[in-house]
Amino acid sequence: MNSPLPVEFPESQDWLDCGWLDTLSRIRAPVDEINRRIVKSALEEKAESAGIGARWIEIGAGDGKLRTWLPEWMRDQVVHTEPSAEYLQQFRRQNVEAEPVEASVYDLPFDDASIDGVLGLCVFDALQDLPAAVAELRRSLRPGGHVIHFLDLGLACLETIFLDIHQAGKIPVPNYLAEPAMKPAAVEQALDEDEILNDLAVCSVDRFSQVVQYLESVGHGYGAPMRKWLNAWLDSPRSAARLFMDIVSHAGDRAQFMQMLIEVHHLTIAYPNLAMEANSVSTVSLFRERLSSLFSNENGFREASSEILVGREWKSPWPSLPQQCCYFGRFAGQVVAQRTARPIPIGRVVSEQAATSPTESVLVESGILFFHAVAK
């Protein structure tokens, strides 16, 4: 038996490799300008209340992506901190007008209650000890100081959530259960909010291993890519998280992975001992619950809240889009590609731009998970 579609997974990269930053820049490119407008809108709504001359810090600044999204009036108020010397070099090359500080979020070089606000882009999802980071932020913040965090990528591979899944003896894959091909109706249906947020399908490692062994035993072409994902997961859930993020952030790679999972599902569903019996899981919900529990009254914070902020515009098609794609959406890491140009009903729309030329035939939406808390 042969698979009708070859599936090639990219090689995983290290978080501290500047090549990974290049990968993130490439992933963000189609929605970069939309994200800039979303961040600007959010900061104008929340950050301006800190006043002129407020002292802000950014944690985990990386190569300076968030700085390029900041409104002009705010850039001179922000001190960028980053623990990686390699990332700092990249930051300085790309932001020559700024001078970042080498510092860890667990040990910030600022006096108690001396900071008016903290900014972060895709930081809280990657920290190995988030409670310790929250305590250090509270120490540095003055009463009434703000914590603002943006998450535009990575919800499908939050390291802490992947570690929890691994410890439970389970394995995650993209949520093929929500795909139109898994629904009774043959026609394409509109996706609702729950289906976007439920980004993972999770099953037991033992059942997944049995499926892989079966595919290999009958010589099916999907045996090799399924084995590669299983081995990556068993070897290191952290490395698997990076690999997973790279796959699901590209519409073409994600579509191949989904097609494979759907075909394997239909191939094995008739055999009770082989069916994966996966369940849908929302990393968005798990992440929001984690943040709410840590930025609590007991830990010195109030008014903790989170929401998905959405921007949309019309763009010309680009090479990596699937054929006949008229809609591309990325919601905090989850990718949706459709043949019909209709918006996804999720989040609060804060920026919208109409088409300006006949070639702009793809409706593009980006959704960022925006978190805000105030120190007591």
pLDDT tens-digit readout, 5-14: 556 665 554 5
Mean pLDDT calculated for residue range 68-77: 93
pLDDT at residue 187 tops 70: no
d(CA 80, CA 74): 12
Kindly report, residue by residue over 249-272, the tens digit of the pLDDT.
677 888 899 999 999 999 998 888
The band of 111, judged by pLDDT with boundaries at 50, 70 and 90, is very high
H or E stretch at 364: strand 362-375
- Say if residue 37's pLDDT is above 80: yes
* Res 190 pLDDT > 90: no
Report in angstroms the alpha-carbon separations of 249 from 28, 245, 297: 9, 6, 35
**In sequence order, what are the residues at sequence separation of 6 or more whose Cβ sits closer than 8 angstroms to the Cβ of residue 36?**
68, 69
pLDDT, residue 38, reads: 98
**Window from 29-38, 62-71, 175-184, 291-300 with minimum mean pLDDT:** 175-184
Among 12-16, 85-89, 322-326, name the one with the lowest average pLDDT. 12-16
Q: Which domains does the chain have, with CATH numbers?
A: 18-154+284-310+366-375 (3.40.50.150), 155-282 (no CATH)
Label residue 233 by pLDDT band (50, 70, 90): very high
Higher pLDDT, 240 or 6: 240
What pLDDT score does 332 carry? 83
- Specify the pLDDT at position 286: 83
pLDDT band for position 285 (cuts 50, 70, 90)? confident
Average pLDDT for 80-94: 93
- d(CA 204, CA 167) in angstroms, rounded, equals 11
Mean pLDDT confidence for 127-153: 94
Residue 108: which pLDDT band, with cuts at 50, 70 and 90? very high
Q: Which amino acid is at 103?
A: A
Question: Do strands 301-315 and 362-375 pair parallel, antiparallel, or not at all (unpaired)?
Answer: antiparallel
Question: Lowest-confidence range among 69-83, 225-239, 328-342?
Answer: 328-342
pLDDT of residue 6: 59
Q: Does the predicted model carry a pTM greater than 0.85?
A: no
pLDDT at position 218, please?
92
Mean per-residue pLDDT of the chain: 88
For the cut 60, the answer to whether the pLDDT of residue 26 exceeds it is yes
Closest by CA position to 329, among listed 311, 317, 316, 350: 311
Percent share of the chain, pLDDT over 70: 89
